[in-house]
Structure 1
Amino acid sequence: MNAYTGVVEPGQRADVRQLQDLTIAKFAVSAMKNNCYLLRCRKTKEQLLIDAADESDRILTEVTNPNHGGGPLKTVVTTHRHWDHVRALQTVVDATGAASMAHREDAGHIPVVTKRLDEGDIVTVGHCRLSVIHLVGHTPGSIALRYDDPAGHSHLFTGDSLFPGGLGKTTNPRDFQTLFRDVTTKLFDAADDDTWVYPGHGNDTTLGAERPQLPLWKKRGW
């Protein structure tokens, strides 16, 4: 298997990363190039999907792909309420019976939510645990999920709150200031430079690659 790069395009095969206890499959869907992340516990084979963005048939195919799927899809976590991240959610939940989770501040704007999340909650996929980090600004209920690999570094699934080169879009200076504060204190101040970042669109990055740019982001206000 080729080394994981995190570079994916709609219609192309998933890029797969094998950790000690967790498999991460990243694939892109739709003209919006949304990233979907399918996580599988390597012990129990249970699966968790981050953002059922679009193309439900593609998502369900990845769930059953024996190379990185094949177990039951137990949970779908939505990183935030924007329409491009939830278009396949109802269909995927109906087809699999998976629980649908989102932060309570965004839950009312999402097609189906069976559990409302808060800061510090733990979401499990088999024996693997991911912590919920509430990041206010892109939307009121945006979240990131953090997985600490016992055999390596941390992994952050940041939705549209943090990308290579900057924060997610905000609509006014106050929202930017709030998002900048949350990303700085809850992500950059709380995790090491080798922490891998998986955003809602585009290529991956690391906290170390982005950390030197924080003063620039603060100065420019986006």
Structure 2
Amino acid sequence: MLVVGFPAGALQANCYLLAGGEGQPCVIVDPGQDAVEPITEAVRKYRLSPAAVLCTHGHFDHVYSLAPVCAEYEVPAWIHPADRMLLTDPLQGLSADTVAMFGGRFELHEPDEVHALEDGAELDLADLRFTVVHTPGHTEGSVVFRTSTEDGGQVLLSGDTLFAGSIGRTDLPGGSSERMTATLRDRILPLPDETVVLPGHGSSTTIGQERAANPFLRQLEEATVPASGL
């Protein structure tokens, strides 16, 4: 599998392109601010043919370039219905301070073709298969995507649900610490340790590394270990 990733925009959100190899169809994940040019360069360099754009959630730093990228390659976008309104009204997902920074105005546009992501759905795109897992907590419509490499390795595109050493914020509109806790416990911790995590911000990691070192996952693991009887 070919994976091309780069941080983009003021908040350095990671955008990824995934393909079976060079010269093949690809899927673009989370095209944020200032992502158009590096996407164009990657498509040209690796001779890729974009087939779809996947969104882990609707925050502007992950979808800012969604409409122009979809228009350029004439491909559809996929996003969870609970976050779709953020594609045209991004202020709904921002803090008051961020809204003020934009002067109370911030316009984005939906692509011409938008499909709904459903929990548990299997998407066959660009000769790859992605499993959609709904992971509310950072936003109501946050999802992660699971896929496999040709040698059986597991890859998780975790968006802003899980980072190396941390997790996504839960204090923004649509966020919930209680739902994030349930997501981490029920959707993230059960994954195999060798699963490679490609997060929405920061460096890549593995589930095993996060199980051992991420304080949020460690706390949940410790809470599920039964106390020894006396």
- Say which of 19, 34, 41 aligns to 1:61: 41
Report how many residues are paired.
193
**Whole-angstrom CA distance in 2 between matches of 1:126 and 1:82:** 25
Q: Which amino acid aligns with 2:123?
A: V
Contact 2:170-2:176 at 8 Å conserved across structures: yes
In our comparison, the structure showing a higher alpha carbon Rg is: 2
Shift of residue 177 of structure 1? 1.9
Contact 1:147-1:155 at 8 Å conserved across structures: yes
Higher helix share: 2
**Whole-angstrom CA distance in 2 between matches of 1:28 and 1:197:** 15
Counterpart in 1 of 2:119? Answer: 119
**Whole-angstrom CA distance in 2 between matches of 1:43 and 1:37:** 15
Q: Which amino acid aligns with 1:60?
A: T
Task: Show the 5 A alignment for 1:24-173.
Answer: 24-42=3-21, 45-55=24-34, 56-66=36-46, 70-110=47-87, 111-112=109-110, 114-171=114-171
C-alpha offsets along residues 122-145 of structure 1, whole Å, 9 cap, x if unaligned? 222332201001001100000100
Q: Which amino acid aligns with 1:48?
A: V
**Whole-angstrom CA distance in 2 between matches of 1:126 and 1:58:** 20
**Whole-angstrom CA distance in 2 between matches of 1:218 and 1:155:** 22
In structure 2, the CA distance between the partners of 1:94 and 1:88, relative to structure 1 (3 Å rule), is: same
**Whole-angstrom CA distance in 1 between matches of 2:51 and 2:20:** 11
In structure 2, the CA distance between the partners of 1:162 and 1:208, relative to structure 1 (3 Å rule), is: same
- Say which of 199, 216, 219 aligns to 2:219: 216
C-alpha offsets along residues 141-192 of structure 1, whole Å, 9 cap, x if unaligned? 00100012341321100101101112210018x8112112112211221x21
SS in structure 2 at match of 1:79:
coil
**Whole-angstrom CA distance in 2 between matches of 1:116 and 1:108:** 12
Counterpart in 2 of 1:196? Answer: 196
**Whole-angstrom CA distance in 2 between matches of 1:24 and 1:57:** 17
Q: Give me the CA root mean square deviation.
A: 2.1
Contact 2:57-2:142 at 8 Å conserved across structures: yes
C-alpha offsets along residues 4-58 of structure 1, whole Å, 9 cap, x if unaligned? xxxxxxxxxxxxxxxxxx2111111122111110011239711100001122122
**Whole-angstrom CA distance in 1 between matches of 2:42 and 2:2:** 13
Counterpart in 2 of 1:205? Answer: 205
SS in structure 2 at match of 1:61:
helix
**Whole-angstrom CA distance in 1 between matches of 2:210 and 2:9:** 27
Q: Which amino acid aligns with 1:101?
A: W
**Whole-angstrom CA distance in 1 between matches of 2:187 and 2:205:** 17
Contact 1:44-1:126 at 8 Å conserved across structures: no
**Whole-angstrom CA distance in 2 between matches of 1:218 and 1:31:** 34
Gapped regions of structure 2 (runs ≥ 5): 88-108, 223-230
Q: TM-score, normalised by structure 2?
A: 0.77
Gapped regions of structure 1 (runs ≥ 5): 1-21
